Amino acid sequence: MIYLDQAATSFPKPSVVREAVADSFQQYGANPGRGAYAMSLQSSALLWQTRNLLAAYFRAPDPQQIVFTNNTTQALNMILQGFLQPGDHVLYSSYEHNAVWRPLMAMTDKGVLAEPFFPQADGSIDWQDLEQKVKPQTKLLVCLQASNVSGAIFPIAELTAWAHAQGICILVDAAQSAGYLPFSLLDIPVDFFAFPGHKGLYGPMGTGGFYVNPAQPLQPLLYGGTGSFSMQAEQPAVMPDHLESGTFNVPGIAGLHAALQWRQGQEEAILSHVQQLTQQFLKGVSQIPGIHCFGPAIDIPRAPVVSIVLEKIAVAKAAMLLEEKYQIAVRAGLHCAPLAHRSLGTLQTGTLRFSFGFFNTAAEIDASLAALAHLAKGDA
């Protein structure tokens, strides 16, 4: 099977990740922060080592401000629901995933005012339009770093400078960029940064997290056991306990820890291999008649995600044929991002999405292009 749905979750994971997960079950799978015995302490140490690696990877000023979650969706919900109050106004890009859109829409019932802004397909911003949307009660701007539909990259450094100049905080959804596009929180001091552990970072599913600026504290979404301050009725104020209630996914975090170590020394190789595959696919697919490709022009950098439609075959059928006849796994439809499809004009058709990862090869891209050349002719 040629797996080209890396945007959903990366596959395969490095063998060291699989081994680290198995080790945690076999060697020290006790609950971290819950006991003073060696196995629990080992789990606790693993959490801190992983937090430190994540902070170093994203150049976060303080590892204590990194919070573990089970995925990006949970991170985004914790930020949005922990930060916004009734009466607040929030600006969100018209490319956001349902992991942002749905919580925002649910919060409008509780008095939050959510308003979209409309970047171009290449990711560029209409600054005048954005400026006109600002209100005295605008508290937050939400923008993904890269679209999970088109791969377009949005100008987060400029958006952050702009938002901060207006006294607005910024939340970045790095679901499709973490591990594929470098990000330094020291250089681009966004207030909230949500990331998956299981996509471009190559950790197991069930891992993710976020960074929160200490100057913008969040209300917890969950209250409960933290293994600390057990006598007190109130949720501990100290980070990260404040936002981390309940038992952690220790096996998953063990895998994420191994994945972060595995990248060290080969970061450049990972980023450039994935960019090369994306370019190879883009160049090839743009030469096949009967296929339309969305997003930025070919030579403009993008996340390793490419969406297409075929003139002669609906995207769902194309995905089915790719799997049945060519053993190629891709995703068809709206990719949980109807807003992005509305922006790209593909809400009715959906798109066929190809997304690439470190373990894909140039030969796999060639095989996919050959399969697409057949399908584009209407040949099943």
Ligand X SMILES: Cc1ncc(COP(=O)(O)O)c(C=O)c1O
- For the chain, strand residue ranges (E) read 2-3, 66-69, 89-93, 113-117, 138-144, 169-173, 192-196, 208-212, 291-293, 305-310, 328-329, 331-333, 351-355
- 207 near ligand X (CB under 6 A): no
Residues in region 231-290 near ligand X by CB under 6 A? none
Backbone angles phi, psi at 127, to 5 degrees: -65, -35
**CA 54/CA 22 separation, integer angstroms:** 21
- 10 near ligand X (CB under 6 A): no
Contact (Cβ atoms closer than 8 angstroms) between residue 24 and residue 251: yes
For residue 205, the minimal CB distance to ligand X (Å) is 8
For residue 260, the minimal CB distance to ligand X (Å) is 17
Contact (Cβ atoms closer than 8 angstroms) between residue 356 and residue 368: no
- 304 near ligand X (CB under 6 A): no
Listing DSSP states for 105-163 in one string gives HHHHTTT-EEEEE---TTS---HHHHHHH--TTEEEEEEESB-TTT-PBP-HHHHHHHH
- 73 near ligand X (CB under 6 A): yes
Q: Which is nearer to ligand X, 28 or 58 (CB)?
A: 58
Q: Which is nearer to ligand X, 210 or 262 (CB)?
A: 210
For residue 210, the minimal CB distance to ligand X (Å) is 11
For residue 73, the minimal CB distance to ligand X (Å) is 3
Residue nearest ligand X by beta-carbon distance? 148
Listed residue (281, 59, 90, 302) closest to 180, CA to CA: 302
**CA 338/CA 348 separation, integer angstroms:** 10
For residue 208, the minimal CB distance to ligand X (Å) is 5
For residue 99, the minimal CB distance to ligand X (Å) is 4
- 72 near ligand X (CB under 6 A): yes
For residue 131, the minimal CB distance to ligand X (Å) is 25
CA 347 vs. chain centroid, Å, equals 22
**CA 319/CA 104 separation, integer angstroms:** 31
- 97 near ligand X (CB under 6 A): yes
- 5 near ligand X (CB under 6 A): no
Q: Which is nearer to ligand X, 53 or 174 (CB)?
A: 174
Q: In this chain, which of 208, 252, 296, 304 binds ligand X, going by CB under 6 A? A: 208
Residues in region 132-191 near ligand X by CB under 6 A? 144, 148, 173, 175-176
- 213 near ligand X (CB under 6 A): no
Listed residue (163, 166, 170) closest to 213, CA to CA: 170
Q: Which residues bind ligand X (CB under 6 A)?
A: 7-8, 71-73, 97, 99, 144, 148, 173, 175-176, 196, 208
